[in-house]
Structure 1
Amino acid sequence: MSIPRFLDIEYCQTDDALFPVAMAWSLADGQMKTVVIAPEEAWLPDDGDLGDFDLRYLEEQGVPLLELVQELHQDLPDQTVYVDGIDPDEILIDLIFSAVSQDAPFEIAPISELFTGIDSDTLEDRRRQLMFDEGLEPQLPENGVYALLMLAQEEGLLADL
């Protein structure tokens, strides 16, 4: 059985900007990758206000977009990648790939397309409850992916993690 792939993106959103700052995704074997993303200059707000995010940290610790895109091409070619459906994930993926003039090698779909027997409100409640029960911080993308993997496990879509 093929393990569904999941993705979650943490992002900065201000009055003047919306851009990804970290991303996590799952692999075919259920493992996960997580990266901090070095922002493109064009994404940054003119006033320099990034709210809770430290630009210096993002620039020093972040993976350059070309490197990130290459990794995503390696890890998720021709896949349907499921997202929680509550973040602007498609916009953020478009930002990443258009910054390097490429198309995403995968298609994004909400988890409601994977878990067809459950309505989206119930799915979101279960995802939040799993995060709470496991003591996971919701703003960390690796925790979002982990919660989706646990949900898939509960639904019998993958073997024990």
Structure 2
Amino acid sequence: MPKPRFLDIEYCQTEDTLFPVAMAWSLEDGQMKTVVIAPMEEWLPEDGDLGDVDVDYLAEQGVPLIELIHELHQDLPDQTVYVDGLDPDEILVDLIFSAMGQEAPFEIAPITELILGLSSDALEDRRRQLLFEESLEIQLPENGVYALLLMAQEEGLFEDD
């Protein structure tokens, strides 16, 4: 059985806009990739109000969508990728790929479809507890993926074949 893959997306959301700003995902060997995402011009509101999101930083440090899509096609083809189920991850993935006129090469499923023995509330409590125990900032996508990896490991989903 292939090892599960995980994904988490940090995003900007205001009354007028929703777009991804960073993403992390796990690879088959349990390693992670993390990127800051350069926003598309059409994602940005005309009034420029994005709260505390630094668009200049995203533009300078962010990966262009075409590069991100290429990486995701290489790393996650024909996979089911699990998310915490709390964020609009599916909408954000669609936004990324539709901006380039493509379909995502993977399916998104909530962690509740992978770890069946616990309710979604119990899974979220465990995820938050792991983030706290590891002294990790909850909003960073790599920390979200790390917590999901730890949960899957606790469930025995990374046992050697």
Q: Normalising TM by the smaller chain, what interval? A: over 0.9
Please give the per-residue CA displacement for 1:112-138, whole angstroms capped at 9, x wherever unaligned: 000011111100000000000000101
- Whole-angstrom distance in 2 between the partners of 1:11 and 1:65: 15
- Whole-angstrom distance in 2 between the partners of 1:66 and 1:92: 15
TM-score (norm 2): 0.97
User: What is the CA RMSD across the aligned residues, in angstroms?
Assistant: 1.0
Q: How far off its partner does 1:143 sit?
A: 0.2
2:7 alignment counterpart:
7
- Identical amino acids, percent of aligned pairs: 79
2:147 alignment counterpart:
147
Please give the per-residue CA displacement for 1:74-123, whole angstroms capped at 9, x wherever unaligned: 00000000000000000000000000000000000000000011111100
Give the gaps of 5 or more residues in structure 2.
none
Q: How far off its partner does 1:2 sit?
A: 2.1
- 1:55 aligned partner, one-letter code: V
1:99 alignment counterpart:
99
TM-score (norm 1): 0.97
- 1:61 aligned partner, one-letter code: Q
1:130 alignment counterpart:
130
- Whole-angstrom distance in 2 between the partners of 1:40 and 1:56: 12
**How do 1:29-40 residues align onto structure 2 when only pairs under 5 Å count?**
29-40=29-40
SS in 2 for 1:11: strand
2:62 alignment counterpart:
62
SS in 2 for 1:102: coil
Give the gaps of 5 or more residues in structure 1.
none
Q: Which of structure 1's runs of 4+ aligned residues deviate more than 6 A?
A: none
- Whole-angstrom distance in 1 between the partners of 2:159 and 2:33: 19
- Whole-angstrom distance in 2 between the partners of 1:73 and 1:62: 18
- Whole-angstrom distance in 1 between the partners of 2:60 and 2:120: 38
Q: How far off its partner does 1:159 sit?
A: 4.2
Please give the per-residue CA displacement for 1:60-80, whole angstroms capped at 9, x wherever unaligned: 000000000000000000000
